Amino acid sequence: MRVAVVGHNEWIEFARVDHVPAAGEIVHAAEGWEEPGGGGAVAAVQLARLAGSSTFFTAVGEDERGIWTGRDLTPRGVQVRAAVRGEPTRRAVVFVDANGERTIATLGRRLEPEAADHLPWNELDDVDAVYFTAGDDGALRHARQAKALVATSRAMKRLAETDVELDAIVGSARDAAERYDPSGLSTPPRLVVMTEGREGGRYETADGRSGTYETPPPPGPVVDTYGAGDSFAAGLTYALGTGLDVEKALALAARCGAWVVAGRGPYERQLTAAELDG
């Protein structure tokens, strides 16, 4: 199975703290680490864990962090196709509190792939499934060459401007930045999914069906919720690419979202193909 992501990445600096500092407060981080992240990168690794490998079309800065991104994602099964911009790679600071909840501050402009970039866009021809998080109109149209195209509702403005037909759009019912506006698209997605964290979520299909799904318990204590939504979206992309029906696709995606919270950072405990087979 061939899977890909068209989207953004960020270099993440994690800090494990008892609580997120209040105004003027100084807190001590019990642990800190750095690695590539952002919605596109996390989804690309989750897809690779399920499909064996994935391709990631993105953009990085002309700095060390841009080099580190490819260095760290490649061993995780991701073939990185990155345009290099003459500016720094976007960074983010993530606080992970004692309950595993993450709070994020981003630094710098988000870098996105563009159709004019000298990237092997033809590799997306006849790909089984693509997840889109960011890119210009042309990049989105390249992504549409896939048999199944899933997009984040965070890209609602781009989706409305380009108005390509989506197999699914996924977002959070609790995050205003991921609000889905059906009036922006002349062709409704075949599937709309709004997640609600540990409570599961709800869905609607273009043919009028609707329902809810449950989130299974994670395979261990909640350690870190960073990447749960991105892993869910990647799982949904993979499932739709394999031809699963809506209910089975959502069940697989929910497992991906639940599994990742049992590990440190987004990659330590993502669901694998071996666990699916088991």
DSSP state of 178: G
Q: What is the pTM of this model?
A: 0.96
At residue 109, the 3 state secondary structure works out as coil
Q: What is the pLDDT of residue 184?
A: 83
Report how far Cα 227 is from the mean position of its chain's Cα atoms.
7
Q: Which of 97, 102, 69, 94 is nearest to 83 (CA)?
A: 69
Distance CA 65, CA 69 (A): 6
Give 64-108 pLDDT, tens digit per residue.
999 999 999 999 999 999 999 999 999 999 999 999 999 999 999
Q: What is the pLDDT of residue 174?
A: 84
pLDDT of residue 217: 96
Single-letter amino acid, residue 181: D
pLDDT at residue 179 in the model: 84
pLDDT, residue 278, reads 65
What is the pLDDT at residue 277?
A: 75
- Phi-psi domain of 105 (left: phi exceeds 0; alpha: psi -120 through 50; beta: other): beta
Structural domain 3-22+29-266, CATH architecture: 3-Layer(aba) Sandwich (3.40)
Our CA dihedral for 20, 24, 25, 31, rounded to 10 degrees, sits at 60
Query: Is the Cα dihedral 217, 223, 228, 234 positive or negative?
Result: negative
The residue written with tokens 């159709």 in the block is 115
pLDDT per 10-residue tile (average), the chain, 278 residues: 97 97 96 97 98 98 97 98 98 97 96 98 96 98 97 94 94 85 88 94 96 96 96 98 97 98 98 88
Please report the pLDDT score of residue 178 as a whole number. 84
Cα 144 to chain center, whole Å?
17
Give the H/E segment covering residue 212: strand 210-213
| Burial call 163-184: b when 16+ CB within 10 Å, e when fewer | ebebbbbbbbeeeeebebeeee
The stretches of 52-205 forming alpha helices (DSSP H) are 64-73, 137-143, 156-162
> Which pLDDT does position 99 carry in this prediction?
95
Is 158 strand, coil or helix?
helix
158-187, pLDDT tens digit by residue?
A: 999 998 999 999 999 888 888 888 888 888
The residue to which tokens 């390249």 are assigned? 142
